Amino acid sequence: MELRRATPADAPVVATLEAACFAEPWSAASVRAELMAPVGRGWLAESGDITLGYLLGTLVVDEFTVARIASLPQYRRCGVGRALLQRALSAARDEGATAAFLEVRASNAAAIGLYAAHGFTVSRRRKGYYADGEDALDMRGDLP
């Protein structure tokens, strides 16, 4: 598995993974806009021609926010998510980030497990945050 920075040209493949991984996927246009923004940061995990997973985030001064992270269902629990998160956090730290933030559905045990394994803790529970009524958890991790 290789990791590399995503560029706006990667928007179509990221959108394909979005469709495979999320009930409300971002379009290629949305992904491209995220990757074109000066604060946008993206990473891809690849094996040969296969894109295994991706992470999209933003870096604003000293705060990194994880917007999306996903690995293809058939490659889960193989270390793809961990590799992406570690690389993105490390790169953000190198760019001056001191803390990382994200929000996650309260029922998303896989993502919460991944984030907790990287030192993220819940800072706030937002009741009924999502359109279907589910709570969101705000999580925060320090980047020492």
Ligand X SMILES: CC(C)(COP(=O)(O)OP(=O)(O)OC[C@H]1O[C@@H](n2cnc3c(N)ncnc32)[C@H](O)[C@@H]1OP(=O)(O)O)[C@@H](O)C(=O)NCCC(=O)NCCS
Do you know the residue count of the chain?
A: 144
Side-by-side strand order, sheet with 136-142 = 2-5, 40-47, 50-60, 63-71, 99-105, 136-142, 121-126
Interface with ligand X in residues 80-99 (CB under 6 A): 80-82
- Shortest distance (Å) from residue 7 CB to ligand X: 21
For 39, the 3-state DSSP assignment is coil
Cβ contact 112:104 at 8 Å: yes
Give yes or no: 63 in active site: no
Q: Which of 70, 88, 89, 136 binds ligand X (CB under 6 A)?
A: 70
* Distance in angstroms (rounded) separating the CA atoms of residues 105 and 101: 14
44 binds ligand X (CB under 6 A): no
- Shortest distance (Å) from residue 69 CB to ligand X: 5
Catalytic residue selected from 46, 63, 103, 134: 103
Smaller CB distance to ligand X: residue 42 or 53?
53
CB neighbours of 125 closer than 8 A, spacing ≥ 6? Answer: 106, 135, 136, 137, 138
- Shortest distance (Å) from residue 139 CB to ligand X: 11
17 binds ligand X (CB under 6 A): no
139 binds ligand X (CB under 6 A): no
114 binds ligand X (CB under 6 A): yes
For 105, the 3-state DSSP assignment is strand
Q: Which residues are catalytic?
A: 103, 115
Binding site for ligand X (CB under 6 A): 21, 53, 68-71, 76-82, 104, 108-111, 113-114, 117
